Chains A and B, each alone.
Chain A
Amino acid sequence: MDPFRPPADAWSRRDFMRNSMGSFALLCTIGGTETLGGKKIVTSASRRAKAASPFAPFQRDLPLMPVLSPVRSERGVDVYDVDIREGLADILPGFQTPIYGYEGIYPGPTIRARKGRAAIVRQSNRLSFDTNVHLHGGYVPAAHDGHPMDVIKPGAKFDYSYPNDQDAAFLWYHDHAHGRTAKTLYYGLLGAYVLHDEREQELDLPRDEYDVPLILADHAFNRDGSFRYAENVDLGFRGDTILVNGAVAPRMRVERRIYRLRFLNASNARSYDLRLGNGRAMVQIASDGGLLERAITRTSVPLHPAERIELLVDFRQFRPGSEIVLHNDAGEPSTKAVMRFDVVRGGGVEEARIPRGRMRTLERLPEPNASRRWDLTLATASGVQWQIAGRGFDPTRIDVRPRLGSTELWQWHNPSNRVHPMHLHGMLFRIVERSTGVVHPGERGWKDTIGVQPGETVTVQPWFTPYRGKYVFHCHALEHGDKAMMLQLEVVA
């Protein structure tokens, strides 16, 4: 395996630019951006100087990831072509941040798929090291799941085949090559995968520009504007800046309509507690695995790494001109502001509605075949390793072999003092019990990731379907997963 290097390594030249061009930057500041032969010229230095602070929240409009178009569609299958490569992102005003990205952008392009219509995503590795792609939350055959040891070599390609044979859900795709996901996701290898179905349409949920994926991630920066990463194996990485869709705490113009806001926590290890304005109501309609049975009104929404939650927010209730801040009550002063909604006039007559009745009926699960307990602990005897049931990841060992179509009761027991967002690949589970209290109605739908709190025991019931083969389950605090907090299961006939 070629060694990993951060994308910033290729850009040391910018240090020289910044140091030696300081006086030129000052000149641009004084001269403003107006003249120079009557033409408007905006230099990066002047933009940098004009900004209140590159980190000031609500200075930029919310960017939206481009939607990936299929290169061709044949026999009911959409074929996509993606290059995994280096790129530069405009995150801080006046700086360019080197990233790794699908199509060279951060976050990667959004794939919008439909239930019953398969997709093939051809991923070409233009990086200098191994990578692969995991469709997080997807029912995907084992060979296409992005198992940590199934990698695409530099210069090679792989056609990931996604059957899309599951109910509508907000999935995401990201790198999963073994041992360095903390770095590769941090430097940009992730994107949204939105799976639609007919049920959503029947429910008249908001569509098109009123259906917005929002990817949250905390970052830190070096003085040249590059991403700053410092490994923290215990707590996991904590950045001092919140990015939404790759912009520092942006603002979003919203009409007086209902919006479907799809939140993904793509942070390495940070958990959020999201609240809207002065405790305004948000209606949760979906979790990781798609729609809940019934919509639930909430004023506070916890979101652990890799979890998704879909909220309907009715901006019709606010006066035009209102500015409503979505904030993270679990944050420090610099990571409290997440984004701001600026309510504007117009929007016309609303056609979407907030579902009042039953949205979906969840399948009855077969009786569990077995009960297992997984202790989540930090081992410091030789080096440092996070373990599940006293074991670290070993790709040559199968830790559990459930039968296809069966269910089991899995107890995540967390005696450590860190949150562990436990994720199961290729399958979904339901939460049965939390030792800390009742399972919130917003968590009673299908899940693929669950935040297990310090001191807590959470019982989940995975359903080992629909494919046989080797998958992994692991902690999605990326530094934990990389430091071996991952086991392997094989679903057998």
Chain B
Amino acid sequence: MRRRHAVLLGLALPLVAAAPATAAEVEVKAVEPAGAEPAWDKTLVAIAPGDTVVWTFTGTTQAHNVWSGTSTNWSYESTLATPAPPGSFRFDTTGSYHFVCRVHASMQGDVIVGNAPPPPPPPLSQQLFPNDGTPPAVPATGELVLETGGLDTTRPTLSGVRVRRARHGTRVSFRVSELSRVTVRFKRGGKIVKTAKLNAAGRYRGTVRDAKRLRAARYRVDLRAEDVAGNRSEVHSARVRLR
């Protein structure tokens, strides 16, 4: 029974005050708000002895009923169905009667008959701390921004490309605008005779080793950078004579 007053204490006093003292029948509706727990439209009903409470389930899409639960001062259970037929109970004796849905623990309420005192406020550990779902990114509209920045379509750029013969290969130097894999191709007579791949970011200076000993000739060397997103730079060419 600790959870019995879990729902909306704030409604208590106005409802008690507004309850029609002479009404013979009071309706309590089951509601299923989007994104929230199912509930009763009234969680506190004040009636006079002899009045009847009718619980209705029109438009609900889940299985519900109204049930006296673990109460010891009354016993009632209406038909469980989707949607359920209305349930009703006539309260003749002054007192506080707790009701709940057998399927949904969130659907709790109390009927106060006569001058019985309203139930005490529930502790904080039983009051809902709702997530209103407003994302902070654009509070004006409440829309979730799915992506900022987006795809990297910027090509890397190569500059200052220089190629020189070195003792054990070919010395290559260049500057590349971002982390890229740089392909170095040696061509002779239009044919690719050697390919090397280097990882570089910013200024690069290094030697492409020539283990296979390219024959002495004049070569065209093509360099092209490909960044991590797969964007490719333009091809930069230089010439070198190997001995």
Contacts and interface: CB of A to CB of B under 8 A. Distances in A.
Interface string B56-76: 000001111000000000000
Contacts of B181: 349
A38 interface: no
B78 to A, nearest CB: 11
Interface in A45-70: 52-59
Interface string B28-42: 000000111110000
B148 A225 contact: no
B137 interface: yes
A18 B147 contact: no
A240 B133 CA distance: 8
A55 B62 CA distance: 28
B135 A322 contact: no
Interface residues of A, number: 64
B150 A318 contact: yes
B80 A380 contact: yes
B106 A240 contact: no
A234 B229 contact: no
Nearest to B133: A334
Interface residues of B, number: 51
B149 A319 contact: yes
Contact of A228 (B61, B129, B147, B179): B129
A317 B152 contact: yes
Contacts of B132: 53, 55, 334
Interface string A290-313: 000000000000000000000000
B62 A234 contact: yes
A223 B128 CA distance: 6
Given A240-B133, A316-B228, A323 B125 contact: no
B117 interface: no
A321 B80 contact: no
Contacts of A55: 131-133
B149 A318 contact: yes
A336 B105 contact: no
B152 A232 contact: no
B124 interface: yes
Interface stretch (B138-146, B163-171, B185-193, B233-241): B138-146
Nearest to A331: B35
B136 A52 contact: yes
B106 A230 contact: yes
Is the contact region of chain A dominated by helix, strand, or loop, or is it mixed? loop
Contacts of A57: 135-136
A437 interface: no
Given A256-B229, A334-B35, A235 B126 contact: no
A57 B132 CA distance: 11
Given A223-B124, A224-B124, A317-B230, A383 B151 contact: no
A332 B80 contact: no
A121 interface: no
Contacts of A56: 134-136
Given A233-B104, A384-B63, A220 B128 contact: yes
Contacts of A317: 151-152, 229-230
A221 B148 CA distance: 31
Nearest to B32: A235
Contacts of A241: 131
25 contacts: A8-B125, A53-B132, A56-B134, A56-B135, A57-B136, A222-B125, A222-B127, A224-B123, A226-B125, A229-B105, A230-B37, A231-B105, A238-B35, A256-B228, A277-B146, A280-B147, A322-B147, A323-B149, A325-B144, A333-B35, A333-B134, A350-B228, A383-B80, A384-B63, A384-B102
Given A224-B125, A317-B229, 7 more contacts: A229-B105, A230-B104, A233-B103, A235-B62, A277-B150, A316-B230, A322-B149
Top 9 closest A-B pairs, CB basis? A322-B149, A334-B133, A332-B35, A277-B147, A230-B106, A333-B133, A231-B105, A55-B131, A380-B80
